[in-house]
Amino acid sequence: MRTTPILLILGLLVVAAEAQAEVSPPRMLADRPAAHCQAPRWSPDGLNIAYDVYDPKKDTRETWIVSFTADGRKSGDKQVNAGSGRASGLLGGRKPPVVELEWAPDMKLLSKPYVFSSVGARKNFDLFADGDWLTTNMGNDGQPSWSHDGRFIAYASQRKQSGDIYVLDLGGDMEKPIQATFFATATEFRPKWSPTKNYLLFTRSEEGSRGQDIALVIDVKRPMDTTQDVTNWSGDEIRPSWSPDGRRVAFYSNKGRKSSESKIFDLWVVDIDGQNARQLAKEVVVDDQGGPAWTPDGQFVLYVKQDFKRDNPVRWVKLDGSAGGILQTGTQLNSDLSLFSRGDDIFLAFKALGQKGSTEKTWERLFM
C-alpha cells in the first residue's frame, strides 16, 4: 500500500452562485492491488482514519487504521482484528471479516476506542469491542453507532425475521438490550445518534410500495412513546446525516421522480421535526456507506454530483441554496466523503477511482 500523509485542506469562499473553493493538492492515502479501499471515517481527535478494504476475488473484508501525528505526519498503519481463533477455524482458516467500525466519542474511553461487527463462534455477525463480544445473538448484529456522551451503542439486529434497532446501555444492564423500534411490517437499520443529544435517527424500509423513510427516537428508554417520522414521503429517503447542531438532517431522496427514475437521487435537507424540507441539489451520487458531509458551522453541505462528463466531482452547497461550487480535487468518480475540522481548516477524506485522467478505473482508492 502506498501512503502519503498530506492533508486536503479546504477553505470555502462564497463569492458567487458558482464559486470555486481553495483546495490543497490531494494525495493518495490507500491503494491496494485488486481490492477496493472504501468508507474512510475520521476519529474524533482527527489523528486516525479507519477504512475498509474489500477484495472481491478472495471475498474478504478488512478494516485498517492509518494514524497521524499532530502535525500531519503518518505514524502507523495497522489492521483491526477480532482475534477469534475459533471463528477462524469455522471459516476454513480465513480471518473473520471486520466491518462497520465506529469510533468511540472519547478516544480514552477504551484501550482500543472503537466497536465493530465481526463473525464469532456462532458464525454470524456480532458486535466486538476492546477484546470481547458485546452481543452473541443468533441473528446478525451490525451497523453500530455510539452516542455522543458514550453511554449508548445502537445497532441493527436480525435476531427476528425483520431487522430492528437495539440499544446497549453501557451504564445499565448489558444483558438486556433495549429494543428501540417496533414496526411490525418494516425493517429498521442504519442508526445514527445526534451529535448534541441522545436522539436516535434511523432508516425504515416498509413492505410494499411505501419505500424507505427516515424516523427519529427522542428517548430510547421510551421508544414507543417518542418515535416520530422525519420523512413520510413516497419513494426512498436514505443515508441521513446530522447537522452539527443536531437540528437538521441532510439525505438523499428520489422524491417526485418517475418510476423509471427511481435510481436517481437528489440532495435534500429537513428539520428533525419534518418541517422546512428543501432540495439542495439534483442528481447526486449515493454513498456506499455514509451520507452528505456538513461543514462544522452547519452552513454548507458537501456531496458528489452525478456528472460523468466531469468525473463525478465533489461539490458544496450553502444551506440556504444561495451559493455552490466544485472542489477541484484532481480525482475521478468520487464518493464516501468524510470530514474533520481543526480550527479554520477542514480536512476531507474520500474514495475515488484514481487521479483525473487515469484510465485505471477498476479499483477504488482513498484520498485525503
C-alpha cell read off for 349: 477524506
DSSP 225: H
Q: What is the pTM of this model?
A: 0.90
Distance CA 362, CA 365 (A): 10
Distance CA 187, CA 165 (A): 9
DSSP string, 261-299: GTT-EEEEEEETTS-S-EEEEEEEPPPSS---EE-TTSS
3-state class of 322 per DSSP?
A: coil
Position 343 scores a pLDDT of: 86
CB atoms within 10 A of CB 93: 7
Let me know if 159 is exposed, middle or buried by CB neighbors in 10 A (0-12, 13-18, 19+): middle
Q: Angle at Cα 240 formed by Cα 105 and Cα 250, nearest 5°?
A: 105
Phi, psi at 7, each rounded to 5°: -90, 150
Cβ atoms 6, 28 nearer than 8 A: no
Question: Which among 139, 97, 92 is positioned nearest to 118, based on CA atoms?
Answer: 97
Cβ atoms 26, 51 nearer than 8 A: no
Please state the length of the chain.
368
Distance CA 293, CA 166 (A): 26
Distance CA 296, CA 342 (A): 9
pLDDT digits (tens, 9 = 90+) for 11-56: 444 333 455 667 888 889 999 999 999 999 999 999 999 999 999 9
- Listed as ranges, residues in the chain with pLDDT below 70 are 1-21, 83-94, 161, 208-209
Position 228 scores a pLDDT of: 97
Phi, psi at 67, each rounded to 5°: -115, 155
